[in-house]
Chain A
Amino acid sequence: LRSENLIEETSDIEDLLKEEEDYKEENNPSTETSGALKWKEDLSRKAAEAFLRQQQAAPNLRKLIYGTVTEDDGDDDGDAQEELGGLFRVRQPDGGCKHKADAMDCSRFPVEAPHDWDLEEVMNSIRDCFVTGKWEEDKDAAKILAEDDE
């Protein structure tokens, strides 16, 4: 039976997605298996919900860079501009955004909060970036250094 087939393969997500089309066809004849397949209902909707949850939770870099995929904020900024007497428009001070648009075009990334490199603990924080620091156990320091010698 096809339905048994389906249950066997539930662990494999990719197969599951392929079978999804078939699932529609045999929905009506095999009513007795509906209990077993219940978890499969609205799979795409559940996936979408889980994705949105993930997007909204924990402010991450992706959100900072690309913004949320959900786009809750809408585009109603356009008609939010108030008009005074049908002639003048109230300027929305954009603050930082405006400033950024005309800022200097430079790829340098200036250090905002410099460390005090005279302190022993600060110096120690990058100790292992150097060959003189501690090596990972899976890497043989002497061997790599020998290879690198020109």
Chain B
Amino acid sequence: MATQTHSLSYAGCNFLRQRLVLSTLSGRPVKIRKIRARDDNPGLRDFEASFIRLLDKITNGSRIEINQTGTTLYYQPGLLYGGPVEHDCSVLRSIGYYLEGLLCLAPFMKHPLKIVLRGVTNDQIDPSVDVLKATALPLLKQFGIDGESFELKIVRRGMPPGGGGEVFFSCPVRKVLKPIQLTDPGKIKRIRGMAYSVRVSPQMANRIVDSARSILNKFIPDIYIYTDHMKGVNSGKSPGFGLSLVAETTNGTFLSAELASNPQGQGTAVLPEDLGRNCARLLLEEIHRGGCVDSTNQSLALLLMTLGQQDVSKVLLGPISPYTIEFLRHLKSFFQIMFKIETKPCGEELKGGDKVLMTCVGIGFSNLSKTLK
């Protein structure tokens, strides 16, 4: 922004989103070199270019320079602007890839973000829109980001490779974030799920539900898995089905797991019974990892803790994912914030694996571009 801070330099295409997001929030420019420099097909991919275009749309005055081969990217962030936006995401990655970045930035816009994203809603790589809706939104609410306009809606469902899905996301802006103290996840009181199917028999979803229940019923009776069969134009361009499961605790923690069928024309056909059972097992793995934030949202929670008011924030996590480890390193270089990390062994309790308690003092980030009314 106004201060002339020298840019941070990185190599490689991995962690591109977190680097660009943190650069935007901190105002420090980044230079990323050697993006797939030794690849047969070097440089940025379509889905990355699409993410950069999205950043350009929601900010004002960003400077983006990419060299001819696309192996070097220079990004000087502008101010977060927000407002109504539409964006066609690349079908190579799901909308979740783009939403994860937006969830970090949306609370700090000048105008509340109201965005329509088109592309793939559920795939096998990224967290799906269903899971982000069920886990990331309640997490943001813990930080005081809430209100009527806080919404994430799946208008159309689209599976890879064709896509054709549509999602609406709107998020209110906040001047400051509340610090959090999430040290006790509580106990799981219910499991909810969404079995979806598009352009296949609606019976697929029912078969998924039955098989997933057969495993989860051994642990808790309160299980409800919705079936969602979108038709016609709302079903996207490719056939597919899948399941997302969310376990909710008494203290408002949401742990999730999901699986999707193989994209049309890739791999062998998956039986809905197998998919349901495997997804239920993945949820049990996630419960075994435990913590107050599920493994896909660890970095979002840590970011909002860093940006919180100058007060102590604490969160109990399961094992820290490699993505989060790199995110912590980035938080240190962009915001000079180091977390206190304490391992909490599981001991005699029957509550899964070891946990990690993360503590930090927020930097007191405040949204200066928010308009006062």
Question: Which residues of A are in contact with B by a Cβ distance under 8 Å?
Answer: 60-62, 64-66, 98, 100-109, 111, 114-115, 117, 123-135, 144-145, 148
Contacts and interface: CB of A to CB of B under 8 A. Distances in A.
Nearest to B186: A144
Interface of B: 11-17, 34-36, 38-39, 97, 100, 125-127, 187-189, 215, 218-221, 250, 281-282, 284-285, 287-288, 290, 295-296, 298-299, 319-325, 328-329, 332, 338, 341, 343, 349-352, 356
A125 B12 contact: no
Contacts, number: 127
B358 to A, nearest CB: 10
B299 A148 contact: no
Kindly list the 5 A-B residue pairs having the minimum CB-CB distance in the complex, ordered from nearest.
Answer: A101-B12, A109-B321, A109-B295, A128-B350, A127-B350
A61 B187 contact: no
B250 A131 contact: yes
Contact of A125 (B127, B188, B288, B321): B288
7 contacts: A106-B126, A125-B288, A126-B350, A126-B351, A127-B219, A134-B350, A145-B250
B332 A103 contact: no
Contact of B284 (A104, A109, A117, A128): A117
Nearest to A149: B189
Q: Is the interface of A mostly helix, strand, loop or mixed?
A: loop
A130 B100 CA distance: 29
A105 B127 contact: no
A125 B332 CA distance: 35
Contact of A148 (B38, B189, B328): B189
Given A101-B34, A105-B16, A130-B220, A135 B341 contact: no
Given A102-B35, A108-B127, A109-B324, 9 more contacts: A60-B341, A61-B356, A105-B14, A109-B298, A109-B321, A114-B281, A124-B350, A131-B250, A148-B250
Contacts of A107: 100, 126-127, 296, 299, 321, 323
A65 B328 CA distance: 7
B351 A109 contact: no
Contacts of B35: 102
